[in-house]
Structure 1
């Protein structure tokens, strides 16, 4: 036994340990897969910035590396950068970087690299506070050779190599006794740099000033593309030269007396200019030639930022809303100063506004002192005015500048001023127009002209100036005209010229002409005229022939038509023009009245029957030139209605149209004057195929419809229009398009048809599926009929027979698709119902609706109730069967069931209910009625739920009930506990019965197991009815929760569960003081073994004998419990008696 325990413990331990190792190995693999790949750094803070040093001062370090050095770029450099990024006011350093095989020219100045690298083991080397290198290979707490640290923020670079050095003070000595301030101010193209040192102790102190100009972001990068920071470019103590001689500057400090040193260097000393320049300073105990104590350090980015800015300057012209100005315009000037610094500013300064007249020439027009800026971001505004009368008339522009001066320690002088420039608007100068076409212009030819101008200022260009062009006879002063302009002005795409297109008016005489142009700018300045003399010559004009508007003449009538607006000549009067023609329709020319006489014998009609305008070709002679052209005439009849050609009409077979004839009619009186078509009478003459269409005319509307749905072809309909005196006819062509019709299905065969489950119904589809265009038999062969229930439908297309037999009750959809040989189809969906039985409704009062009327007598405690049944509807109910269940409300169980049958043909029936083993019913009893039968259609009728009666305490007061749950809901905790005790007894009996049956597949054993599950469900339900139950809150918490497990969690949970189970079993065995007393009886009598393992009698030789202690107690099991459990509020006893009705859908 001990060996078995040990083996179990060993196996569980190995399984749990191996799982844990696998999990940890996966975690470690995940951590080691992150490569150091980040290129641009830093962009965010480290995961855990180090603690500040206890001395509270700034830590200073110097770093030497190389662009190709892997540990430099991956560990040391990013760790230094991260410290400076996260703690900008607590740490500063200087980088010396070897690139292209050499260092900056520091080697020829004070040899700082050699100083740092003494005894170094190689790149990278970092020294904190000028730490004295130990003997080679050098490495100590504050003198570090090589990389180190780890990536804590996930950016791919180490960021904590020097955290411990920083937090431990960085090797700084007595920083509390010294103070240093590094100020760097941009001054034009230079940087003014000042270092102020102060001794805070007593007496005096001699210090050496370390002062270096650095690039905040170095201009050279490591080979992986990342950049170091704070790269050394110059020593201030050697005069700001990158390779100057000398060393650190010495100060003899007196306690509490600041001492300063200042330098001016070019702003481009560091790559990237002033914005990328940081000055780093430190106070040391000795010169650069020795290793020293470092007291205090700082850089020009430390400390509060002081930055005042002229953030806006608005200059508004009060006299003009556009661009530019003219001398004398009045301006409103408004400017704003903003505090961009980190703190309030109260150190003085002045805002000044100047009128800048030219280089080194400006007038002060406004000055005011700055007030206190109480916080960062606060502003001050100033306003004044400016009179432009003082501006010189010879300048192109003038400027106003707002500037703040007299500031203290402002670190960004580049934003201390703003300038607003305004251009003076001058009058433009027009240039001489240019003729692009021939200077000899035939009348009717176009003339192209280009013009431009000079704006004389910076306000306007050609797009903001508008040209005005005139044409006049050469030498004129007052005959200028714009009538010649056909198009323009349009600005050429290159913006250099405006273009005009000219065309001579008909009234313009031949001769020479001038062109002039002037320009107007947006301010309204108008230029002088620019004249192009003798720009072109307009040659003699030919006569002009104009066909429109078309005059109207009557057919076969000689008429004289005025030619005014049809014939003209610019130089020749009308009476001197000669008109001739060779046309037979030309009669004569009458120059004295300027009339043309014509005669047309017929009305021109084209091939489509449409009336055309008649044409007459003439020649006009002005004595110098001749011109030929065509005149048009509308020739009309005298009073006859006229038809325009009617467009053919069409529709599909079985269709129709309505066609309005009015738009295609016109009429005139006997003089050819238009007459209203409303007076016309429209009639139908005939139709070529009266067997295809029917046609009628109602007013002006012609209606045509097909005789039936299957005719098609072409039909001519002859129409007549008459005004009472004259008439005219026309023909309308109508096309009837043939359309294939899909077969149809007459779904009325399913009307009022209901199906009985298991009963077959056949339908003859002859005459149900029909096709007007093809044979019905062919349509039946192509058609498809299906339903969702497999095997429920058989369609024999060749026989035209449809057979349906549903095996499942409910609604069923029959899908029908009728198809012809052209694949045209119709689709139908018919919903039918299949029933296995219908509800049977009982009534307890004659006024109620129901199928059976049930009345009861003597339903009181101590009585024997009598129920009377009678038919109450016309459904023809017969074969009526029923049952009564007698139940105890207090115990929640039904203790008797009595079945009965009502003989057919009787008008009424009486049934007495007397409980078995009792002479009467008790006050605690409840009677439940179930009833079923068959109606006249052979369909089963059954009650959907039981009907209840409660036994009353009075003979005159029987109490029906339909809500048994309400009784149990009102049980007290004591009553519930009593029921629970009874349930525990039943469970004990069931367990014994289950254990006595060896075969796990035995139906009786399975039934007992189901009964046991039902009793457990009932026990849980009763527990929830107690007043102290928390079932609702528990259920709510479960429903409100959701869990997500990954596969690793599930695996671990499974092993832990296994371990708990095994250990629990071990503890159970181990907890006994002695080994168990084994039962040496025959195996079939070993109750423990049989109850634990489900029975073992059949696997032993000795067969089990009958024993009274194992006799089976039969308890009705009821139907199986569904996966969702029994209905809410039900008891297990109710489920045993009513569960099957619930599953059959008879109870809800």
Structure 2
């Protein structure tokens, strides 16, 4: 064709021209071109391989190629094929030791030893057969997944599903189901590979702060066992071995697996499972038939969605005869329509141990995607035996043909409502003796015997009787309307107050309880629960609330004085007492009138002339016991003002009272005639004394006394001596003031706790005794509860001692509740500042805590750095580390620790020549301050090495610093120093000679061989042109697409111009030695062999050993 003729002619001319150039410049030896690097095709996402693919991924905290490429590549593949691609991450702390316990390399499985690995990352093993090292893009694994991932050829014939059920008690039940849907026979004795992983690797953060996926946390073993870094539970010895039957699901279940095996709760627990032909702890290359994880859903999946078991009457539990309603709903949670066949059903069973009794059944209808079906039935409990703390179990089961048999069963229970049991009452005090007029409290509690009732839904009854009687009495007992206290301190309080007519001696008590269903417990008898003392008759004093005051009699006049409020017996009426005395002032005792007749013949005064009280000692009998006492009288002259008894005044602590005294005053003139009311109101009245003086204040205004307590905490009895005076005489009397105690709530002092600062993850111990007080009760009787807003953050470790701990930083609120035995409550709160790692920022032109300066970052140097801290925190410990990493090979080859801030340190590379192409310096700081808080750089300080600046003025490829002729592109060396370059100097080693004509002879010596070469090129080119023209002379001209014809399809042109098409690439012998790492194939990873030598593993699986001089030799 025409274009071939033109091309041949052009090529001939080109070859002649190239040959002619040999006459102008000397012949140079050209290096052979290197073959292009072979890389897998870059895909936007893996294509569907038609079955599941399983991968095991080796990664490490400090592996940049892992968190920049490897993990993102696996996540992208999982997002692209969520129901076809499954992987697990063996995440170690360092790529120098990938077989540590953190990665899952523990007994009895040894997941990393199984892959015959000890170091180097990232690495991926597909289908337990194909191992890939290194990763340089986020799509580096797509081609392997798309091509089948080395799974077994029958992988499409197997199916697997996983069910994870949260038990609500911190554990989960995990079920793995497997089936065979092929036309042949499934493999026998399959190994069920199963592991618990973190879907988001919260426990395995990369050094850059990112997190990978599906990180191993525990192996799921036989015998319902599991193995984690905390040990092996239930004695599992290896993976389960299972056999599966075609078109039937075989399910393996692990019960009560702790959810806290993973960091992040149930939502972050991802079970990974696969079917293996065999398993070895020291070698791989098994057949893998299928894989799944708990994020994958089958195409058709009908599950039991909800199940409720309730008493139809609305009660929380059941007693025999109740009807129980059972409601079950099922739902199609798959992605395809479920078409019901004959025989699919929902069945409800009553479960007794391992025995199931059918309650009712119903057929299942066809269900669209997301559609549901409900089923309700009733069960009669008449034949059920109600047991203490018992329950009745039910189980719902569906029989369906779907992709997941693990969610076809659900259980439900309803509690038994049993009668309560009374607990022996406890006397609230150290003594069980009741004085006359007194009372005794008992704490009442009961055992509900079920999960239905508690103290709030039960009521107690308490009765008493004399130990010699058979008659029970309840009117003496008052029971609190509800429980007091909280938690284990909750109880009812029953107060026993015997009447005054009750006989003394020992008394029995009995208690019974009624629950919310009116079920009554048996009576609980407590014999000799308390003793009632006999009440002795007594003479009342001012300290008694019944005391009526000191009676006033006139001297020389026989008076009959009522003893009411002066003599008393708690159980015997005053008119049944006997009163006798040997005092001459005692005349008689009139029991029926309850009056004592007295006669005083003189007025007793003190040295100041004030009238003093006079006493009569009496003996009082109640028919059982006798007692003695002194009755005091105020004996006044006949003409003196007279006080009648002033009743004792009772006020509350913090209270006050006003008493008009005029009604208690009288007066006579000298002849004994009572004066007028006006004259009585004119009598002077004032306070003589107050005893004790520090509890109340008293002020008299117009014969009215105003009394008030000095504060809200004083209690007791106070005596006020009052004096009334007329023009000539005065008379004193005593007013008793009783200050009644009120219960004050306890106090919790949060002053020193507000703003408390503690470190995240550390424990702070709080002893409540250091902060609680009560003016009314002993500290030991105060009940304190401390809670945190975050569950589990504040826990009791002993009585009155709590430990506080938070994992995350931030402000936390702590609630405090204090109560006393009387039920008075105060509530408080205080804030705690939880501090985690405090950030340190590199100053990169926008401000920060840290500044780094260095002397240079040129290739071939070992730089010196100084790091300075510009903040205000005082540090006790500083860890400043450095690394030199190479971005081309993806490894860090040098590292060290600096002495600290403001001190220079040398970054000594492992390569003697210093920094190389692609080297990057990274600095990190971790520092602890004087308070123990840790400060940490948020990211590494990073600087890349750069080329040295080379100046070449004449452009001859030799820098000016080494060029003897920097402005002459034809010369650069002058060996003899005669000012004439060696290229034009005929005598380059003789500074006295430099004839130019000698060069002509030198050139002529080169012309002969040059001419020979030119001739060969000319003959070759002419022959090629003639042959091409002759071969195509008879061919008709064709239309030519020049966009494809030249040079891509032209062999000659591509050969001359170095064409890029694969057919023009000449195969070359593979290199076996390179000078340094820049000559290695890209995208690989480093590891070590058994002798400790550094080995580079390329993507084509070739291995290169690093030599002492930094070069590499292929092995």
TM-score by length of 2: 0.39
* Larger RCO (alpha carbons 8 Å, 6+ apart): 2
Larger radius of gyration: 1
More helix by share: 1
TM-score by length of 1: 0.38
